[in-house]
Structure 1
Amino acid sequence: MSEYMQERKGFWHEPEGRPTTEAIALEHWARAAHDVLEETATTYHAVVREADLAERVQAASAIRTTRPLERWLPKVLQPLAHLHHRDGYPPLTALVVDGHGWVGERYDDVLRAIEELPIATPAARERHAARARLECYQWAGSAPEDGGVPAEVLSTTRSRAPRSTTAAGTRAPKAPRAPKEPTVAAPKRIAASDRPVNVCPTCFMAIPATGVCDNCG
């Protein structure tokens, strides 16, 4: 914000800085907003961000304020939604989205204007608004000849990537061990003193390595 704007408070006319009231500012901004929304509808699937709309209506009306748009823009869009419904316009305020591309709870004003109940589920609300925007494109002649389709709705929740089982502090499951192949045990070495001794069946004396009994020949 420039030092020039910081010196001013409330609402004023540009460029002279002549003060004005909030009621007059809102009236001029509503007219300018209607023109911006009509222009937006002439481009298929186009939307206008709240911040962009706030700047454009101030520039077009030559009436500015230092107040944050959250405090005054709903006061422009809410009555405008009712006027559009009364005068036979499509729900043009559905073309206004926030920085995430969503209409949010502000869209409840559109639903009240057309005598429908607010939608509590964010995703369902955004889908309803997408269909309302398609109606605006069809009215403005920017939709295809077949009528077009609602634009894809951006996710209203932040998805989380699935946690890896190998993340810090966790252990990945161990791969199953392959079954061991049966092994043949190596023959056990036997000391010479433990080996069985051949005995002569006649004299029962030990037979030497020659296999011939020394006593019996």
Structure 2
Amino acid sequence: MTQQRGYWRASGEPISAQEAWEIWARHAYKVLVELAQTYHSTITYGELRDRLFAASGIRTSALLQNWIGEVLNRVIYESRRRGDPPLSALVVRTDDGMVGGGYDEVLRITGEPPADDEMAREEHAAGSRLACYRHFGASLPPDGGVPALAPKLQAVVQRRRAQAPPPRRPVCPTCFVQLPVSGTCDSC
């Protein structure tokens, strides 16, 4: 049996990549709005792919990283058109819980400067996720909720902080003794 290549419907009928991306984007928007109704929820790229395949009946042999950005860009633009927060912030990588470089499109279309590094991007995405939860009616804690990293990334950050050596205090330039918390050398 020959394996299907490209993009196709469940019936086996081939369709164009553009058509598949458009259909998947409509389904992705619905999936992400539903997800945004649960505080601190996220979905991995792979989980989103599986939901899109199931909802649309459309499949592809293309690697996920070769088409998911096209779908999420359409979601980003649709969110902007509707005045919704960027739903793409809810989609994270399986291995580290980060949004990935494609999230920079959110910054670009909102006129914000590019993220300086991955953690700056993640902090922006955390704020966008909170905006999604608020906008789409998630049950929030009494304080209104807080921006949060995706759970897997938060665990990594906490583990790194726990393993990091304590910060060194400054040394007195005269006697080279570590300064106390007051910052004033007791020996000089």
Instruction: Describe the shift of the 1:156–1:145 C-alpha distance in structure 2 as closer, same or farther (beyond 3 A).
Output: closer
Pick aligned residue for 1:150 from 147, 152, 176: 147
Q: Partner of 2:48 in structure 1?
A: 53
Q: Is residue 75 from structure 1 mapped to residue 93 from structure 2 by the alignment? A: no
More helix by share: 2
**Contact 1:123 / 1:156 at 8 angstroms: preserved in 2?**
no
- 1:3-34 alpha-carbon deviations (Å, 9 max, x no partner): 7xx610101110x2111111110110000100
Q: Distance in 1 between matches of 2:74 and 2:158?
A: 30
Q: Distance in 2 between matches of 1:60 and 1:77?
A: 16
- 1:158-209 alpha-carbon deviations (Å, 9 max, x no partner): 849579xxxxxxxxxxxxxxxxxxxxxxxxxxxxxxxxxxxxxxxxxxxxxx
Q: Partner of 1:105 in structure 2?
A: 101
Instruction: Describe the shift of the 1:106–1:157 C-alpha distance in structure 2 as closer, same or farther (beyond 3 A).
Output: farther
Number of residues of Structure 1 aligned to a counterpart in Structure 2: 158
Pick aligned residue for 1:11 from 7, 27, 41: 7
Q: Could you list the runs of 5+ residues in structure 1 that have no partner in the other structure?
A: 164-217
- Name the structure, 1 or 2, with higher relative contact order (CA <8 Å, separation 6+): 2
Q: Partner of 2:128 in structure 1?
A: 132
Instruction: Describe the shift of the 1:162–1:97 C-alpha distance in structure 2 as closer, same or farther (beyond 3 A).
Output: closer
Q: Partner of 1:201 in structure 2?
A: none
**Contact 1:122 / 1:156 at 8 angstroms: preserved in 2?**
no
- 1:102-133 alpha-carbon deviations (Å, 9 max, x no partner): 01212101111222121021111111110110
Q: Could you list the runs of 5+ residues in structure 2 that have no partner in the other structure?
A: 166-188
Q: Which amino acid aligns with 1:149?
A: V
**Contact 1:12 / 1:64 at 8 angstroms: preserved in 2?**
yes
Percent of counterpart pairs with the same letter?
A: 42
Which deviates further from its counterpart, 151-160 or 30-39? Answer: 151-160
**Contact 2:22 / 2:74 at 8 angstroms: preserved in 1?**
no
Q: Distance in 2 between matches of 1:32 and 1:83?
A: 12
The TM-score normalised by the length of structure 1 is 0.67
Pick aligned residue for 2:87 from 89, 92, 99: 92
Instruction: Describe the shift of the 1:18–1:139 C-alpha distance in structure 2 as closer, same or farther (beyond 3 A).
Output: same
Q: Distance in 2 between matches of 1:62 and 1:156?
A: 38
Q: Distance in 1 between matches of 2:135 and 2:142?
A: 12
Q: Which amino acid aligns with 1:29?
A: W
Find the structure with the greater CA-based Rg: 1
Q: RMSD in angstroms over aligned alpha carbons?
A: 2.3
